[in-house]
Structure 1
């Protein structure tokens, strides 16, 4: 997959963002703000994090929208790599101190609404600056926020013993629209570090039931779309929700594989760890 975003994909991304925002808000509204979702974040902290992203994205889509109240935000933004995302989140939460769930949910709905309104009738491939100098298309921006709602909804639901599904079509957008979009338009410094450059290309193919296969190549320290005639070294057939949970450290690779929701095969599956050390997400 190297093609640009279709009208159908763009419509689906915006619909998913609207739907998952309301679903997430319903879960949050039924839980105590002091519920610990992770080792470090209460429900109120987690909600503030998600709200900060929606606020940031509304500003990216419409620069007239007020920016986050973080002094020196642009300086932080350009220096972020995958390995420093947690530090970046901590900086934002120190400046953005609101923790009242009622106020935060109102802000979330307003900013998601503003983002969606700002995206109406615009090219889904129009890019905005993101972390580490990456360029993210508007469709990828919506898909990233959908994934944040799904992942953090999972965290909260697990903490309170509720069921929380990651619908396959919505979860697939993270790879289909966000990660593929960043590869297509440039990921800047975001993936700095990780595996050392190698002259031996590694081609990894991702397949699921919802979107066309995505085939990526790591070569000499750079990730790009693999040529059409490149033979995959690794094939990953996956349930999108499980793959996303695995990439963000919520589910171990061993558990994902043992449940059959992630299946790894190919000519050289042992090359996958080297690929993942470079092409990685915060966990």
Structure 2
């Protein structure tokens, strides 16, 4: 049987301030411009990953952006691609590539650079227009029945643009910058807020469950200190305390690259981008086996 992760004992008021909401909106617009220019310059057939060309990668991001034009309105708004709501509800971290990503490729087969960039730009413009007066703390049903606030959905889209922009830039030997401030938005507004609001079954798997509590405190120069707790099938947020098991100092861009398997944990540690200490630092390993990204 898979493990169903529940949010439990959400602590503290929301940290989605008006300032952070404005910053998240500005970030997605900024990175979308950079990403679009990169795609227009790059060789469309260059391999951005082991399996995806530059245009596969760009189309993937454009399709997600297009879906989000409906997601930001309400949970009842039809998606522009039929059948996606059921697919999204069934998605977990472990089946996202074979499930949702494959379904998006079938539903959005466009690979012409001009058309894909046009779809991406129009979708992000529409998201920003539709959310101009919206409450950024309003939660949206997301993958696997998880709940993410509107600000978190925007921060997630920025992160998609940043990570896949890096993939494309590396394929064509161009520099690509991931600002720590933008990566910090993904951590605070998306990752932490999903744990606050409800992880649904996005982390379900059939691996043995670690029995007992693991409390991991996260600190960086760009985020508010916070503790995420994993306890035998439940994940929730607490304020940092002296009895946390693990303490992690991180640089946000490196943490994002590590969590999405772009760089190994050892490299992040050796460069000083990830430092781990605490009463029981070895518990970070079982924590990250469960609280993970695709």
Instruction: Give the structure-1-normalised TM-score.
Output: 0.95
Counting only pairs closer than 5 Å after superposition, residues 93-108 of structure 1 correspond to structure 2 as 93-108=105-120
Gaps of 5+ in 1: none
- Give the counterpart of 1:213 among 225, 233, 241: 225
Q: Which residue of 2 aligns with 1:256?
A: 268
- Give the counterpart of 2:243 among 231, 243, 255: 231
Q: Which residue of 1 aligns with 2:7?
A: none
Gaps of 5+ in 2: 1-10
Moved over 4 A (4+): 63-66
How far residue 112 of structure 1 moved from its aligned partner, in angstroms, is 0.5
Of structures 1 and 2, the one scoring higher in RCO (CA 8 A, sep 6+) is 2
Counting only pairs closer than 5 Å after superposition, residues 110-125 of structure 1 correspond to structure 2 as 110-125=122-137
Measured in 1, the distance between the counterparts of 2:148 and 2:168 equals: 27
Q: Which residue of 1 aligns with 2:53?
A: 42
How far residue 228 of structure 1 moved from its aligned partner, in angstroms, is 5.0
Q: Which residue of 2 aligns with 1:137?
A: 149
Q: Which residue of 1 aligns with 2:162?
A: 150
Measured in 2, the distance between the counterparts of 1:54 and 1:224 equals: 28
How far residue 2 of structure 1 moved from its aligned partner, in angstroms, is 4.0
Q: Which residue of 2 aligns with 1:77?
A: 88
- Give the counterpart of 1:279 among 263, 282, 291: 291
Q: Which residue of 1 aligns with 2:5?
A: none
Q: Contact 2:43/2:172 (CA < 8 Å) preserved in 1?
A: no
Q: Contact 2:12/2:239 (CA < 8 Å) preserved in 1?
A: no
Q: Which residue of 2 aligns with 1:12?
A: 23
Measured in 1, the distance between the counterparts of 2:13 and 2:260 equals: 26
Determine if the alignment matches structure 1 residue 60 to structure 2 residue 71: yes
Cα 1:136–1:100 change in 2 (3 A) is same
Across the aligned residues of Structure 1 and Structure 2, the Cα RMSD in angstroms comes to 1.7
Q: What number of residue pairs does the alignment pair up? A: 281
Instruction: Give the structure-2-normalised TM-score.
Output: 0.91
Find the residue that maps to 1:3 and give its secondary structure.
coil
How far residue 196 of structure 1 moved from its aligned partner, in angstroms, is 3.3
